[in-house]
Every structure is written in structure tokens, then in C-alpha cells.
Amino acid sequence: MSGQQYTHTIDGKAETSAQSFDVINPATAQPFAKCPAASREQLDKTVAAARRAFGPWSRRSFAERREAIVNFAHALAARIDDIGPVLTLEQGKPLGQAKWEIGGGVHELEAMCQMELKTEVLRNDGKHRVELVYHPLGVVGAITPWNFPIILATHKIAHGLYAGNTMVLKPSPYTPLSSLLMGEAARDTLPPGVLNIVAGGNELGQWMTEHPGIDRISFTGSVPTGKRVMASAAGTLKRVTLELGGNDPAIVLEDANLDEVTPGLFRGAFLNAGQICMAVKRVYAPEKLYEPLVEGLTKLALSHRVGDGMDPDSEMGPLQNKMQFDKVVGILEDTKRHKGVRITAGGHTLNRPGYFIAPTVVADAEDDMRLVQEEQFGPVLPVLKYKTVDEAVARANDTRFGLCASVWTEDYEYGAEIAKRIEAGTVWVNHHVGSEADLPFGGFKESGIGREIGMLGLASYMEPQVIKVPLRA
């Protein structure tokens, strides 16, 4: 960890760079390791290696590629105990959750490669046979954020490679080290050039989006950066998927069972210190359940153990970086300026080094507060009161975001009806947060473009082609 040398994986080999940058432990706000910063020339070399590897890799069958990806998954699984602590040190999450994330990535690599995009016969009318076939696209540039560096990368790796593409993966400069270690597992198990992992600053991401040798960008990050990525990729008409931010509403209906709803909402809002694109970010509760729900959430928030992720007692770590910490502190200050708002738990930073904010519940929140309008991406949850379900749905939809949402009720079918009225890529009934290998994931509105995961995700890494053949009479 500290003192350990971290290297890029380029063309199957370890490589360092002339430039490097500090990686900071958010639990101490101190640097603990150096990360190499790839130069533009190194990116060119990496893209050239990925292009060379593309031909042979794309000619393999799905089954052959599956076998190689599963070997990679097993090599990653064998490294959980040494990559886990590095993920905790750079990201802040408790060690158990860091290991769980890597284990989840291993699972996704295996599970997402079970499906196959088969040739479809669109027409066979005696005159013509028309087939829809799928081709891999070429080199994929994958760009990931700092909240779940491993699992978000494995989503891209699994379908990107399985579809027959090769890849250049760039992690966030805040959390690059666990991804670089994942590259070591790739070196041992995948052909050189198939999966390259290079670290660097934001400019490296921009060079990738402009690069003429990259055919597709798979981006996960914030809405503003997503817009820049799309604009930059337009220069070469790269295929793009954007998995962006969210401001997920959770609507609790009058018949909901609070014994189940309260812990479900709490977990959905505070896991990973609230730094999840699909975290619960606004709760709408009916008048009848309002006070008991606020009371239940407050009790859980006050007993939630916050601390250094390396401490086995910690249930929640710090915010990942100073910029995010300052943003959430700013949102808290704005919240406190609103008269009538009640902060029933937390509302303050922790008096210790690092970027810690106490789990916070805000009752009597109002629609025009920053906390409700923006993606807080932190452990601060507003609870809003509503009178009618129609009103709750309208307020839930009154946002430029549309990633996920949830409806909580004992009447599952009625819940499904309400779910269909919410403008979001995924709406759960009696659940919030999670992704599954066979379910497409992505956002409505400014929460993204396209889908990852599931058949739609696999198809997004391929180009469809129509083949029309005349038939002899």
C-alpha cells in the first residue's frame, strides 16, 4: 500500500510514467500512495495495442471469450484480500464493504457473460431471408468514477470484452489504485492488449473521448462531465453510453409496513455514505406515516457507526474527497437557512481529520431546497410530506434527473402502477439500490443515454447489421 509501486497495464505488461500524483486517504485527508499519470504518448501506445488485439479477440466465439473472462474473474477473486484494503484506503468505505464490492465485481464478470446475442431472422418470406447480425465495435474507452471503482469497471469489462471488443479503462484520479491492481489480474489471464488499464487525471479522459483510435466510450460519472464527454465524442462520432447522476425519489404509500420500509430506506440512502448514483435521495411520506417514519430513520442514523473504513466497527466511512465534502457541507448550510426545517439527526461534520459527515435526517424539507433539487451524493436525507399520491408522483418527477426510484406499499400491483408513472430507468417496489446481471440499467432525462447490463447492455457494445439475401424460387 504505502511504498507499494502501482503500474498501468498496457499491452499485457506493467508500465509506469514519468509523471505521478498523490492519492489521498479520505479518512485522514493525507496522501498515502503515488499513482502514475499516463502521458498522451502512452495513451496512443495503449490504443495501438488494443487495436492490434482486437482482430484475434473479436474472432473468438462468445464461449471462448467467456472462458477467458471467467479466468480473469477467478484471478480477481484470488486478490480480494489484498485489493480490498487499497480500495478502503483510497475510497473510504469500510473494509467489509470494499471486499463485498470486489466480490460483486467477480460475480458480475461471470454472470454477465452467460447471455449471448444471437443472429435473428427478421424475414424469411420465400423471396428473401433477412438476418440481423451483430459485430463488435472495436476499441472501447471506459471511464469510471470514484464511488464504486471496481464494480462499475467490471460492468464495462464484462460486456465490453465479451462482445468482442478490446478496452482501455481509465479509473478516477481519486481512486485509481484498486483498478490498477485489477490490471495485474488481467495480465495473467487475458491476451495482451485486450484489457488495458491506465491511470491519469481528467485530461486523460478527455484525450480518450477525442482519440480517433477509440470507437466507443462507456462513461460513468456526473451529468456535467457526461455532457462534455458527449460533445467531445461527437468529433469522431463514437458510440457513447452515459451513466450519470440521479436524484432518486422514494414514495412511501399509506399502507406501507414501516418495520420493513424504514431500514430499507435507510440502507438505500446511507450505504457508501450516500455516494451512490441510485441512492435514495428524497423520501416522500404521507401525513399519516410521516412522524413515525422520521422517528425511525432518526433512530437508525443516530446509532450508525461512522469511522475509518479500516476500523472493523465502522459501518460508514468518510466522503470520498474534499470537493464532495465541501459540496455536502454547503448543502447542509443551505438547509439550515430554511425556516421550519428540522434536522433530527446529524447535521454536522465530525471533529476529526478526514471528510466525515454524521448521518443526517432532515424533516419538513421543502421542494425548493438545494438538498431536494440537487444530487447531494452524501449522507443527508430529506423527508418530504405529501397529501395525495398524484401530488407525490408529480413532485418526484419534477427534476432533470431520472435514474431510479422506488414505491413502498403492501399492495405490490398498485405499487407497480405507480412505478410506471415515475420517469426513471429503474423503479423498484419495496426495494432501492442494486444491480443485477440480467437487468438493463440506465437513466431517463439527464441521468444518461443508453443502457448497460442485461441484453440491452450487451447489444450496446455491438453494431447491428442487416443482411438481405435473395432466395431462389
Which residues contact ligand NAD by CB under 6 A? 143-147, 152, 170, 172-173, 202, 205-206, 209, 220-222, 225, 228-229, 243-246, 277, 375, 377, 403, 448
Nearer to ligand NAD, 65 or 238 (CB): 238
We find the least distance from the C-beta atom of residue 312 to ligand NAD, in angstroms, to be: 26
Nearer to ligand NAD, 7 or 321 (CB): 321
> At 208, which helix (H) or strand (E)?
helix 202-210
Annotated active-site residue 277? The verdict is: yes
CA dist 283 → 248, 326, 403, 446 (Å): 9, 23, 15, 20
User: How would you classify the pairing of strands 448-449 and 239-243?
Assistant: antiparallel
CB atoms within 10 A of CB 261: 24
Helices (H) and strands (E) in the chain, counts: 15, 20
Which residue in 101, 108, 184, 243 is the catalytic one? Answer: 243
We find the least distance from the C-beta atom of residue 221 to ligand NAD, in angstroms, to be: 3
CA 367 – CA 83 distance, rounded (Å): 42
CA 273 – CA 319 distance, rounded (Å): 7
CA 286 – CA 373 distance, rounded (Å): 20
We find the least distance from the C-beta atom of residue 342 to ligand NAD, in angstroms, to be: 27
Q: What are phi and psi of 18, to 5 degrees?
A: -65, -35
We find the least distance from the C-beta atom of residue 425 to ligand NAD, in angstroms, to be: 9
Cβ within 8 Å of residue 371, ≥6 positions away: 331, 334, 335, 362, 365, 380, 382
CA 234 – CA 322 distance, rounded (Å): 32
Neighbouring-strand partners of residue 429: 407
We find the least distance from the C-beta atom of residue 360 to ligand NAD, in angstroms, to be: 19
Which residue in 277, 375, 446, 452 is the catalytic one? Answer: 277
Closest residue to ligand NAD using C-beta atoms: 205
Nearer to ligand NAD, 226 or 307 (CB): 226
Rg value, the chain, Cα: 23
We find the least distance from the C-beta atom of residue 123 to ligand NAD, in angstroms, to be: 37
Annotated active-site residue 243? The verdict is: yes
Nearer to ligand NAD, 9 or 209 (CB): 209
Nearer to ligand NAD, 192 or 213 (CB): 213
Nearer to ligand NAD, 206 or 236 (CB): 206
Nearer to ligand NAD, 241 or 409 (CB): 241
Cβ within 8 Å of residue 265, ≥6 positions away: 250, 252, 280, 283, 293, 297, 381, 408, 432
CB atoms within 10 A of CB 3: 7
Cβ within 8 Å of residue 84, ≥6 positions away: 95, 98, 99, 102
We find the least distance from the C-beta atom of residue 280 to ligand NAD, in angstroms, to be: 13
| Catalytic positions | 243, 277
